[in-house]
Amino acid sequence: MRNSLLVFFLLSLLFVTGLQCGESIQAPKPRGYFRIDFPEHAYSNFQPTDCPFSFDVPTYATVVNDTDKLKEKCWMNIEFGGYKGTVYLSYRTVNNDLAQLTDDCRNMAMKHTAKASAIDESQFIDRENHVYGLNYSLKGNAASPVQFWLTDSTNHFLRGSLYFYAVPNADSIAPVLDFVKEDIRRLIESVRWK
């Protein structure tokens, strides 16, 4: 009796486990990210009335005046609303302090070296329109992946920095960053001094 009960138990166990062999085993899925649909790159020229410059801005973005209490005239932000990103623009008149202004920009970019895995610098030169500058592209998990400055070397100085309102995870912001970098490149190339 005892042996027949043991045999019955083992056969029942095999039968139950045999039924589950055809079923798929559920495993945790890897973490994924939402699909992002980007608009076509289209631009309009932005000419602030009281500022001595103009530039092209993407049509999906909004230009707003900077609301910081320490702001100066001609400080503004380009907000990429749906992508939680903003380019902060600050303008200064050059008063024999161009070296100091460029050093300040370099120091601000280098503050991100703690999180950045690399910083690429690229020059921008437009002799025809007297626009010269430097673009910093920060790799890795830096808070500001793009910073730049532009000048005519005598009167005007414009600085920009891109920030996303998200945890600076290079993998997760990479698609949006690549898309926005093209718009920043267009902004830089389209700057004109008045």
- Rounded Cα distance, 89 and 74, in Å: 8
The answer to the question of residue 160 being in a domain is: yes
Tell me which of 39-43, 110-114, 125-129, 151-155 is least confident.
110-114
Q: Which helix (H) or strand (E) holds 110?
A: helix 98-110
The answer to the question of residue 89 being in a domain is: yes
Q: Identify the pLDDT of residue 162.
A: 97
The per-residue pLDDT for range 156-184, each reduced to its tens digit, is: 999 999 999 988 888 888 999 999 999 99
Q: Identify the pLDDT of residue 113.
A: 82
Residue numbers of the domain that contains 68:
53-193
The answer to the question of residue 22 being in a domain is: no
- Rounded Cα distance, 54 and 111, in Å: 29
For position 143, which CATH number holds? 3.40.1000.10
The answer to the question of residue 75 being in a domain is: yes
Q: How many domains does the chain have?
A: 1
The answer to the question of residue 185 being in a domain is: yes
Distances (CA, A) of 21 to 9, 18, 111, 124, 167: 19, 5, 57, 64, 43
Q: Identify the pLDDT of residue 152.
A: 97
Find, among 121, 178, 170, 123, the residue nearest to 142 by Cα. 170
The answer to the question of residue 25 being in a domain is: no
- Exposure string of 137-148, with b = 16+ CB inside 10 Å and e = fewer, is bbebbbbbbbbb
The answer to the question of residue 20 being in a domain is: no
pLDDT band at residue 56 under the 50/70/90 scheme:
very high
pTM tops 0.95: no
Which is more confidently placed, 112 or 78? 78
- Rounded Cα distance, 63 and 46, in Å: 9
Please name the residues in contact with 192: beta carbons below 8 A apart, sequence gap of 6 or more: 53, 54, 55, 129, 131
The per-residue pLDDT for range 22-37, each reduced to its tens digit, is: 566 677 777 766 778 8
The per-residue pLDDT for range 57-69, each reduced to its tens digit, is: 999 999 998 887 7
Mean pLDDT throughout 110-128? 92
pLDDT band at residue 53 under the 50/70/90 scheme:
very high
Look over the chain and give the mean of its residue pLDDT values, rounded to a whole number.
88
The answer to the question of residue 85 being in a domain is: yes
